Chain A
């Protein structure tokens, strides 16, 4: 790919989604956009770039952004953030929220595995939560992945990555080649398309936020901006989970890591650790 084409695409993606594309990711552009070019009846990636440069076709720009920001997802990915949720966050919230209201935001919900994993954990101890008003909001910049999330239908391959077999038996139905998540789990999650560069105002405030493996694609000022706005929407005793390769350290002081709990961050002024018995 020509240098100026790379720079053009990188600039476009940064502009539309915050995605930071470094030159070592050229292969990613080629592997993800070549199929898109063909789907659009264009022979090569060069032709796609030419089309983008000359026509400013909004639906094409959207497809390019979605193709580049889509991430692989699986159930209970990395385990730890879900163990912490079950063992520390939920018991603390059960005590602290006398309003019996709990709001969880999966900020990069992708194809739904993360929000559904959280819904399943809640369902596993439903006697405690059945009288609560619990909202799990799943957002993603890519509407295509959200359609899949809403359908709650997964391939045999997808349900085997991270999902214990007991949970497959309990919470899924088999429909031919497809494993579909049960309606009572599906109905616990509300999906909506959302760009993290936009204002969080309409989303309301949250007790728990999962925003994993998104910040790695942003540059430093965008990371800072997103993290600080997240800390504003997070309850004082709330919890933020980032991906294993991400941190708040050196980016913002509004959040701090919880010692010994990988990927877990809390508002700097808050008392979340005490509440969760992690101090």
Chain B
């Protein structure tokens, strides 16, 4: 079973994402901001990170840059999942090493399509 780290400061979003991804056969861990996510990665490196952008303490982009800067780890797939829906945010995320990008609101079909595209399903 693949491990997905769901990073979002909204409890509701984490819960919705968890429900969808568990149905798609992922094991789920949750983190509430970028720093929390980095700590979670140190403990148990996930296969994929579903990543919000705007969060307190450390935002999603900072997390992405920090994880991509780490040497000697199996880099996880990173799928952004954010309300930021303009081209410049999308480009910034992809240039920083995101593999896919989901614009909120999302549903099961979008998650499934995007996870299929990056080869996780």
Contacts and interface: CB of A to CB of B under 8 A. Distances in A.
Q: How large is the interface on A (under 10, 10 to 19, 20 to 34, 35 or more residues)?
A: 10 to 19
A59 interface: no
A245 interface: no
A187 interface: no
Interface string A139-159: 000000000000000001100
Interface of A: 74, 79, 156-157, 160-162, 164-166, 168-169, 174
22 contacts: A79-B116, A156-B103, A160-B103, A160-B106, A160-B113, A160-B114, A161-B110, A162-B113, A162-B117, A164-B100, A164-B117, A165-B90, A165-B94, A165-B100, A165-B101, A165-B114, A166-B94, A169-B90, A169-B91, A169-B94, A174-B86, A174-B87
Interface in B82-121: 85-87, 90-91, 94, 100-103, 106, 109-110, 113-114, 116-117
A152 B87 CA distance: 18
B94 A161 contact: no
A109 B67 CA distance: 42
User: Most chain-A Cβ atoms within 10 A of its Cβ — which of B85, B109, B113?
Assistant: B113
Q: Nearest 8 A-B pairs (CB), nearest first?
A: A165-B101, A160-B110, A164-B117, A174-B87, A162-B113, A161-B113, A156-B103, A165-B100
User: Most chain-A Cβ atoms within 10 A of its Cβ — which of B86, B90, B91, B102?
Assistant: B90
Contacts of B85: 156
Contacts of A169: 87, 90-91, 94
A225 B86 CA distance: 48
Contacts of A164: 100, 117
A151 B91 CA distance: 25
Contacts of A174: 86-87
Nearest to B79: A165
Contacts of A166: 94
B102 A160 contact: yes
Nearest to B107: A157
A160 B109 CA distance: 9
A79 to B, nearest CB: 7
Nearest to B102: A160
Contacts of A165: 90, 94, 100-101, 114
A173 to B, nearest CB: 8
B118 to A, nearest CB: 9
Contacts of A168: 90
Nearest to B86: A174
